Copies of this chain bind each other. A is one copy, B any other.
Amino acid sequence: MSGTGQPRARRRGARARGAEAPAREVNYRALRNPFPVMKAFSDDRIEAIHEAALSVLEDDGIMVLLPEARAIYRAAGAQVDEGTQIVRIGREIVAAALATAPASINLRGAVPERDVLLELGRLVFQPGGGAPHATDLARGRRPGLGRDFRELVQISQHFDAFQMISSLVEPQDIEPHLRHYFTIEAKLTLSDKAPFVYARGTPQALDSFEMLRDFRGLSDDAFRAEPWSYTIINTNSPRALDIPMAQGLIDFARHGQLCIVTPFTLMGAMAPITVAGAMVLSHAEALAAITLTQLSRPGAPVLYGTFTSNVDMKSGSPAFGTPEQFTASLAAGQLARHIGLPFRNASGSAANIADAQAANENQFALWGNLLSGTTVIIHAAGWLEGGLSLSYEKLITDMEVLQMVAELCTATSANDADLARDAIAEIGAGGHFFGCDHTMARYQTQFYTPLVADWSNYGRWQDQGGVTASERATGVWQGIVAADKRPATDPARVEALHEFIARRTAEGGAAPES
């Protein structure tokens, strides 16, 4: 068998391709985190952080700008100072909230295959979100447009390893009082995954819920019985909860929709400079927000979250993908397990273009997330400038990493046949395994097929234009956009959705709360 050279392997490969060997199939939809959990701190220091956070809520309190939210806290026994708007929350109130917050949440997609189970041990990826700018190599960096938003929904929909689609870019050419119609319409008609809905005040939230409920063909009760959408709630660190965020916590909880609570705490700026100190603050704020969801509706779906990185102490610039963010991720994961809730975390990069820094920061932060037992990793792909822009090409090159991680979520077989004992005996010293039966039976299914990586040798790569991975990524996303593959939708519901939007637009839309 040995010594026949590579061409023979190719010939046999070509013959086999059409005939015997099965094609590779992957399932990136329902992933379990296969990585061992790493700890930042000892269990007793995690307990100390938890206790310190409880004391922050009890003794120092949190400023809550929304009167209705203060009333809800007060009714539960919290001490409310209406002058300073400071709410002091006793630990028994927090404990009761944690007792009713669900440990397992099934976020519903348009079809059951798009449902996403959110609990500790699961692994879910989202593309970068919340970016005011979009950027790509074909059209440059610009304020996010409606066109960009729709394209990015299509691209996000295309990849199964994005089990949830984020807020992506802000479509700044769409007027703020109509923007939620535009974004929800795009997500419902271009994607079958559960949509993100912004918490920008009750009128927009109720509009969004109505569109979603009717598009899914649900009764009001059926809609409220399960989460069909989700929002992100950022506290205003340190120790404040503003009006739209508090309204969001209440509205989403009451409608049974998912709140992902995420203090965004930059160490040395809006949070203490130490990981442990930032965790005390972040944990306190998260507990306050989680408590508000459970007071609004016990059992409401909510995720514990963190997004803690550091700033450059010379300039105040935020940094991402740093050792400090990594350690904070690990600590936050320990706190999530301490309170027993599914856990959202974030990757990211501070780089200004999709270069080696951007790739390295994003992947470094990703590994901090993976080793912290994160359930949902937000901003897992495409983020540049600390989230001020979303890069189409980086979305693709980062997706390559996410798909490789997804591959590791399936155990590799090592049964007796996999040991290849016969093939090793068969192939002589100095031979090769290209054409042997053991290889031929597996060559179409054994290896991950890259999305954008080019493994050509230097000469061939040069002949093909000598382009970078990012330049190849342009072709990848352009191909997805051009294909314009859409999920099945009911034309009657699409028409009804458009009628609703036309009517609400004529009525003046709904201005965002700020």
Binding site for B on A (CB under 8 A): 6, 9-10, 13, 34-38, 40-42, 45, 48-49, 52, 55-56, 59-60, 62-63, 86, 141, 236, 238-240, 267-278, 280-281, 284, 310, 312-319, 321-324, 326-327, 331, 350-361, 363-364, 367, 371, 385, 388-389, 393-394, 397-398, 400-401, 404, 407-408, 412-416, 418-421, 423-425, 427-434, 438-439, 442-444, 446-448, 450, 452-458, 461-462, 466, 468-470, 473
Contacts and interface: CB of A to CB of B under 8 A. Distances in A.
Contacts of A45: 414
Contact of A429 (B239, B280, B444): B239
Given A40-B414, A276-B420, A313-B444, 7 more contacts: A36-B36, A274-B418, A276-B418, A312-B455, A323-B408, A323-B448, A327-B412
Contact of A424 (B272, B313, B447): B272
A285 to B, nearest CB: 10
A360 B398 CA distance: 8
Contacts of A363: 359-360, 363-364
B425 A59 contact: yes
A387 to B, nearest CB: 12
Nearest to A46: B414
Nearest to A349: B453
Contacts of A284: 424
A13 B313 contact: yes
A317 B457 contact: yes
Nearest to A361: B453
A44 B478 CA distance: 48
A488 B420 CA distance: 53
A414 B276 contact: yes
B420 A280 contact: yes
Contacts of A421: 52, 55-56, 277, 280
Contacts of A364: 363, 401, 404
Counting chain B CB atoms within 10 Å of each CB, which of A40, A56, A419 scores highest?
Answer: A419
Contacts of A236: 429-430
Nearest to A396: B356
A416 B485 CA distance: 55
A408 B272 contact: no
Contacts of A331: 414
A445 to B, nearest CB: 10
A277 B420 contact: yes
B429 A63 contact: yes
B272 A423 contact: yes
A122 to B, nearest CB: 18
Contacts of A419: 48-49, 52, 274, 276-277, 280
Nearest to A421: B52
A318 B273 contact: no
